[in-house]
Structure 1
Amino acid sequence: MTEQAATCQQSSCQSNNAALNAKIGSIKHTFIVMSGKGGVGKSTVSVNLALSLSMQGLKTGILDVDIHGPSVPKMLGLANEKIKFVDDQIVPQEVYDGLKVISMGFLLNSSEDAVILRGPAKAGIIRQFFENVAWGDLDCLVVDCPPGTGDEPLSVVQLLDTAKSSAVIVTTPQQLATIDVEKSIDFCRQLKLPINGIVENMSGFICPHCHAEANIFSAGGGYKLAQKFVVPFLGTIPIDPDIARSGDEERPYLSAYPTTETAARFGEIVERLRSVYLELRNKPEADSCCGGSKAQQCSEPGECCSGQER
């Protein structure tokens, strides 16, 4: 490589990084929704979390980085929408009075199309979803990750400022699911990503007639996990047939069934999450833990890397 070519490449990289940093800098807080195992309702939590934050007046976006199995478009009634460009920028879809949405699903000709990509290609797509999307100023961005601790969540965390991000980990009560969640917790701690808390989904069944709650499966796995690893427990979401029904109807649960006990449970979880955003919004930039350095940030809110309370 010639010296001139190397200089041009370096200049291009710096320009790209500046554009990326500007986009990420316009997002006040990012909630990264993860799960150790598939089928625990992570996308359901992501969609309803984002909708609830938006309904509370916060400028909110949802980014679906499940490259191989995007489900957010269908859950929001956007399954037939395609990617849109204005002035070389990707324009998010908007639903429910301002919730901005981007998904790999918008790039596919059909929901039946398989996405066959290796890690570097997926990382490039995720970078574009931050760098080349006209998100505007957002109070909150909810990122729906695929299960596990692979390329997609790793790419997201490496791009973001972890001082303005936190993980929401979704599990079901069964031991098989909670074992995999332990890996998600370890992932967050190794990457210095604060853990906002654990949500236990499919936790008990509420009778639609007498409103009594019964534990069809095991219960309390998420709570026990939170105690074991000393992370917040955000709450439980019961088994509710209307959650599946709302997905089939292509409507978020909170929009279709806003007055149910399940909706109230979602509301309690969102209030706990929203308090984190408000705390960060009111905190001076210089007061960020460990000075805001990506290489030296705390794995637990309120605790410095030295182990001393702030």
Structure 2
Amino acid sequence: MSQQGQPEGGCAPDKCSTCPMKSSCGGASNQAGPDPDMVKIGKRMSTIKHKILVLSGKGGVGKSTVSSQLATTLVSKGYKVGVLDIDICGPSIPRMLGCEQEDVHGSADGWTPVCSQGNENLSVMSIGFLLSQKDDAVIWRGPRKNALIKQFLTDVNWSDLDYLIVDTPPGTSDEHISIVQFMMGAVDEDQDPSKPQTKKVDGAVVVTTPQEVSLAAVRKEINFCHKTNLPVIGVVENMSAFVCPNCQTEHPLFAPSTGGAKKMCEDMKVHLLGAIPLDPRVSVACDEGKPVYETMQGTPVMDALNHIVDELVKLCP
């Protein structure tokens, strides 16, 4: 048996029906054609131009903050954006995007994502909308998490989007493996071969903070991307320095003892998209569900976000 639990070298077609591994091995499904779920995912994703995963090696680096502000900054530049929150146990995107009290509605065409504060150019889907009480704990094992992630990909009617931002939990576990496998394995049976092929996934934006404790985990995240053939679009260094809201002076809080994200990116040959300083007003904006671009124009934080989004658009043409 291989490490994935599949028979090495394949097996004879007539053995598939009685094989105890038939539910996890690709042999039986390969005989019958594409996995129907992968076809459904391919159809849903075919209306989205760019798909970007936001990853972090560890918690506490502001990954969801970066995800939400990348999305709202893209919207401010005229793009139509969706945010898919697959942090099953700690969904914070609904609050950060000001739509925590909204409900998901179903129709014959699937789940309709929530519009953030009535903005039709910003659609959101999260398990946070499905909980009976917002403080309910989600105590699920991996298979149930994976099933919900697949349902988000097969059943959510995103319609036409320029960008889909996928906010993930910290680490390199079930949710990450599932989202990569589902999106990379999507099959678009309606794709016109004469037209330009849309990428199944553009790649990952990896979020870190300057200190070595964070960078060590991020190196593992980048290696996860390499091992799963997920392109790394670039790295965002969050909370790079504290910016005084009054005098705009920057003060380093987390000492980059090994050179910070810049040195790590040079060593690992990945692109540094930019560095976002720490400003207390960002935390207030996220708690209140207000996009930073509405309240912090002309600040170092907004300058950094505009630069990162411009780099993102350039690298994902």
State the TM-score bracket (shorter-chain normalisation): 0.7 to 0.9
SS of match in other structure, 2:238 = strand
SS of match in other structure, 1:18 = helix
2:38 corresponds to 1:17: yes
Distance 1:17 1:216 in 2: 45
1:176 aligns with: 213
1:158 aligns with: 181
1:55 aligns with: 76
For residues 158-198 of structure 1, give each alpha carbon's deviation from its aligned partner in whole angstroms, at most 9, with x where no partner exists: 11136532100000111111100011011000001110111
Task: Evaluate the alpha carbon distance shift between residue 270 and residue 205 of structure 1 in structure 2; reply closer, same or farther with a 3 A threshold.
Answer: same
2:50 aligns with: 29
Q: 1:196 aligns with which of 233, 240, 260?
A: 233
1:300 aligns with: none
Counting aligned pairs with the same residue, the percent is: 42
Distance 1:144 1:14 in 2: 25
The alpha carbon displacement at 1:228 in A equals 1.1
Equivalent residue letter for 1:27 = I
2:94 corresponds to 1:73: yes
For residues 131-184 of structure 1, give each alpha carbon's deviation from its aligned partner in whole angstroms, at most 9, with x where no partner exists: 100011222100000000011111111111365321000001111111000110
SS of match in other structure, 1:244 = helix
The alpha carbon displacement at 1:211 in A equals 2.3
Counting matched residue pairs gives 274
Distance 2:101 2:80 in 1: 24
The alpha carbon displacement at 1:255 in A equals 3.0
SS of match in other structure, 1:44 = helix
Task: Evaluate the alpha carbon distance shift between residue 130 and residue 176 of structure 1 in structure 2; reply closer, same or farther with a 3 A threshold.
Answer: same
Distance 2:297 2:122 in 1: 17
1:287 aligns with: none
2:161 aligns with: 138
SS of match in other structure, 2:316 = helix
Structure 1 unpaired stretches of 5+: 279-310
Distance 1:41 1:119 in 2: 24
Equivalent residue letter for 1:124 = A
Give the alignment of 1:1-310 within 5 angstroms: 14-87=35-108, 89-95=110-116, 96-161=119-184, 164-219=201-256, 220-278=259-317
For residues 215-249 of structure 1, give each alpha carbon's deviation from its aligned partner in whole angstroms, at most 9, with x where no partner exists: 12213511111111000001111110001111221
SS of match in other structure, 1:58 = coil
On the 8 A contact 1:28/1:164 being kept in 2, the answer is no
Distance 2:32 2:110 in 1: 21
Structure 1 stretches of at least 4 aligned residues deviating more than 6 Å after TM superposition:
10-13
TM, length-normalised to structure 1: 0.83
Task: Evaluate the alpha carbon distance shift between residue 117 and residue 167 of structure 1 in structure 2; reply closer, same or farther with a 3 A threshold.
Answer: same
Structure 2 unpaired stretches of 5+: 1-16, 185-198
On the 8 A contact 2:202/2:316 being kept in 1, the answer is no
The alpha carbon displacement at 1:11 in A equals 7.2
Distance 1:158 1:111 in 2: 29
Task: Evaluate the alpha carbon distance shift between residue 74 and residue 141 of structure 1 in structure 2; reply closer, same or farther with a 3 A threshold.
Answer: same
The alpha carbon displacement at 1:258 in A equals 3.0
- RMSD over aligned CA atoms reads 2.2
Equivalent residue letter for 1:186 = N
Task: Evaluate the alpha carbon distance shift between residue 204 and residue 14 of structure 1 in structure 2; reply closer, same or farther with a 3 A threshold.
Answer: closer
On the 8 A contact 2:51/2:164 being kept in 1, the answer is yes
The alpha carbon displacement at 1:256 in A equals 3.1
Equivalent residue letter for 1:159 = F
Equivalent residue letter for 2:292 = Y
